[in-house]
């Protein structure tokens, strides 16, 4: 019996990716880097410093940690100032379903709490029993640490948790934590998500099929 559902944030709970892409373009295109959406999506889940390092490799130049940190700070400021992301269709209803069944819910992400707060209202943030952001885990995805920290805070064993993800690094983190994982094809096609236990095209399909897969005793 599943006792907790742990959600990734960007692309799973909220439709924030176009705003992240705009922010990456804002800081990287002046350096001559053409931002490819799929490249960003494949790197998603890990701490933003890691994403930046991978995207900067194409320049062939060396960037110090201080330079990368400054670039990341500008990227985050742009995102926080310009994003208009909202809950993905079906998410509020799915969260309500879980609450009614006394299933605990957590938000587990490699993004900053400031980024979360720029998208969700305080009332929306209170829907989650636990929030684990970049600042809360020394090692981010694909390490299992963020999901294990969330499970510990929830008081639920990993094998009684299911994770909802949309990126390979997040799926890897969930499976390494000993949790079942559902993937949504909101940003990447299913060929990149094969390590998940189940794959759905959208939240409506997930909500429809979730009881038969995970709520049986």
**CATH number for 208:** 3.40.50.1000
Q: Assign residue 128 a region: left if phi > 0, alpha if psi is -120 to 50, beta otherwise? A: beta
pLDDT tens digits, residue range 168-205? 999 999 999 999 999 999 999 999 999 999 999 999 99
Rounded Cα–Cα distance for residues 127 and 160 (Å): 20
Q: Can you give the residue range of the structural domain that contains 143?
A: 4-15+85-214
- Count of alpha carbons within 13 angstroms of residue 117, beta-carbon side: 6
Mean pLDDT, range 155-169, rounded to an integer: 97
Interior angle at CA 86, CA 198 and CA 55, nearest 5: 70
Q: Do 149 and 182 belong together in one domain?
A: yes
Q: How far apart are CA 75 and CA 62, in angstroms?
A: 19
User: How many angstroms separate the CA atoms of 183 and 171, rounded?
Assistant: 8
pLDDT at 91 over 70: yes
More confident residue, 46 or 95: 95
How many residues in total does the chain contain? Answer: 217
pLDDT digits (tens, 9 = 90+) for 105-136: 999 999 999 999 999 999 999 999 999 999 99
Tokens 């095209």 -> residue: 201
Count up the domains in the chain and report the number: 2
**153 pLDDT band (50/70/90 cuts)?**
very high
pLDDT, position 45: 83
pLDDT in tens, 60-83: 889 999 999 999 999 999 999 999
> Quick one: 90 and 171 in the same domain?
yes
Domain final residue, candidates 82, 100, 127: 82
Residues 39 and 107 in one domain: no
Show which of 82, 115, 131 is a domain's final residue. Answer: 82
Distance CA 1, CA 160 (A): 6
Is the bond preceding residue 142 a cis peptide, omega within 30 degrees?
yes
Please report which confidence band the pLDDT of residue 52 belongs to, taking 50, 70 and 90 as the band edges: very high
Query: CA-CA distance, 217 to 215, in Å (whole number)?
Result: 6
Question: CA dist 120 to 10, 20, 88, 185, Å?
Answer: 12, 15, 12, 22
Lookup result for tokens 């053409």 = 34
Domain termination site, one of 31, 50, 82: 82
**Would you tell me how many other CB atoms lie within 10 Å of the CB of residue 145?**
18
Q: Which residue(s) pair with 104 in the sheet?
A: 4
Q: Are residues 76 and 94 in the same domain?
A: no
pLDDT for residue 164: 98
CB 82 within 8 A of CB 19: yes
Residues 141 and 78 in one domain: no
- 97 has pLDDT over 90: yes
pLDDT value, residue 211: 86
**Does 4 score more than 60 pLDDT?**
yes
CATH number at residue 56: 1.10.150
* Global pTM exceeds 0.85: yes
Sign of CA dihedral 44, 45, 48, 50: negative
């Amino acid at each position: 019996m599943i006792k907790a559902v742990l959600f990734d944030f960007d692309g799973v709970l909220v439709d924030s990716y176009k705003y992240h892409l705009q922010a990456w373009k804002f800081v990287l295109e002046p350096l001559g880097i053409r931002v490819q959406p799929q490249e960003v999506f494949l790197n998603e889940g890990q701490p933003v410093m890691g994403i930046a390092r991978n995207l900067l490799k194409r320049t062939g130049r060396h960037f110090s940690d201080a330079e990368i940190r400054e670039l990341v700070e500008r990227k985050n400021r742009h995102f926080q100032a310009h994003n208009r992301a909202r809950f993905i269709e079906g998410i509020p209803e799915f969260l309500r379903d879980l609450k009614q069944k006394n299933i605990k819910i957590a938000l587990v992400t490699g993004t900053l709490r400031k980024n979360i707060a720029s998208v969700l209202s305080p009332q929306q943030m209170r829907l989650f029993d636990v929030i684990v952001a970049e600042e809360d885990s020394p090692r981010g995805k694909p390490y299992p640490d963020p999901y294990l920290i969330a499970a510990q805070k929830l008081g639920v064993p990993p094998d009684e948790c299911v994770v909802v993800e949309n990126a390979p690094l997040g799926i890897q983190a969930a499976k390494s934590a000993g949790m079942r994982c559902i993937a949504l094809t909101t940003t990447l096609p299913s060929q990149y998500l094969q390590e998940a236990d189940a794959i759905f095209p959208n939240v409506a399909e997930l909500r429809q099929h979730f009881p038969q897969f995970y709520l049986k005793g």
